[in-house]
Amino acid sequence: MKLRLVVLFCLAAFNLLNAQNVKPKNIIILIGDGMGINYVGASLLQDPNSPFKEFKTIGLSITCSADKLITDSAAGATAIATGYLTNNKYISVDTVGNPLYTIFEHAEKLGLSTGVVVTATVTHATPGAFLGHSISRYDQNLIASQMAAQNFDVIIGGGLKYFLPKTLSGEREDNRNLLESLNSKNYSLPKNYSELKSVPKSITKLYALFEMDGLPESSKRNYTLGDLTKTALNHLRNDKDGFVIMVEGSQIDWAGHDHKSKELINEMNDFSSAVTEALNFAKEDGNTLVVITSDHETGGMSVTNGNRDGSELELSYSSGGHTPSPVGIFAYGPGEELFKGIMNMNNIGQKLFKLLDPSFKF
């Protein structure tokens, strides 16, 4: 018995050491906004082919922010994007407002490509934490300006109004047309999904802003988050040095806030399509890490009734806002062992930094 325990301990230590010495070429981060454990449970119950069933490495994330028991998306995404906790409503700045170094900034410094795919505005709280810095998540004009000044590679989502002046039906009061700035930097600027599909895969720089605000909910689109994710990956894979991408199922959270159960399931299915594409890419590539988590739980949702086959699920809610319930972490690929167990949300960010660059110091 003692010998068996020693062997198991040594094996665990070897696996952890091996994980710490791994450096995946590519990292795909998928964030289901508001996606608590019961959201994943509902998805598993009603979808016998759920891609979540493929994960063997699973952990739990404690989502408290620096100043609140219950985090918002800004502080939650900042923890993942920077490895540090901050206050609610803060976008990749510390608790006194100083900019925090993001994993996208480090990826760019290392010569890797970067990408974001979301169904909200690309300047919203979650993508904003990867792409900019602000003491207010609501200053989306500032985030757009910061994005246009950087060299991020593939940006797909909504939020066109934050890139256009008011004279062009946008929200900007500085009269700047950021699309002109992006065009001068040789970005491709497809205006809809049809145009995006027509962009040659060899193109490495693109901004696809389909809507003035967020994208339509999943049931009202003729494309999925998985379609957008697959397209982004096809462009990012051109970089022989690798890439980091963040994909968000943004509207899972919106359905949870509004207690719209049908829409919640639809948005989870839409998010699952992106998980499938990420896993397909990782399996084919062999050197890609996929990490799925959430910034917080929304609504205190639970499954309270339904049919044995998972149809006609009845969902109940204990809150109209966020809750402090831990959320899941699902990992696949080189370094996945680091995401087992229970950890604070910023530990996810720290582990991602270390896998991207083993010499990085916090």
DSSP string, 234-281: HHHTT-TT-EEEEEEETHHHHHHHHT-HHHHHHHHHHHHHHHHHHHHH
Amino acid letter, residue 16: L
Question: Rounded to whole angstroms, how far apart are CA atoms 301 and 109?
Answer: 41
Q: Dihedrals φ, ψ of 121, to 5°?
A: -70, 150
Q: How far is CA 57 from the centre of its chain?
A: 18
Active site residue 50: no
User: What DSSP designation does 285 have?
Assistant: H
| The token pair that represents 300 in the structure block | 């205190």
Q: Which residue has the tokens 């988590």?
A: 293
Question: Rounded to whole angstroms, how far apart are CA atoms 242 and 356?
Answer: 10
Q: CA–CA distance from 305 to each of 42, 202, 311 (Å)?
A: 11, 49, 10
Q: CA–CA distance from 342 to each of 11, 22, 62, 301 (Å)?
A: 20, 21, 7, 21
Q: Per DSSP, what are the bridge partners of residue 154?
A: 115, 206
Q: Is 304 helix (H, G, I), strand (E, B) or coil?
A: strand
Amino acid letter, residue 344: N
Considering the candidates 50, 65, 73, 92, report the single residue annotated as catalytic.
73
Question: Rounded to whole angstroms, how far apart are CA atoms 108 and 113?
Answer: 6
Question: Rounded to whole angstroms, how far apart are CA atoms 337 and 32?
Answer: 21
Amino acid letter, residue 241: D
Active site residues: 73
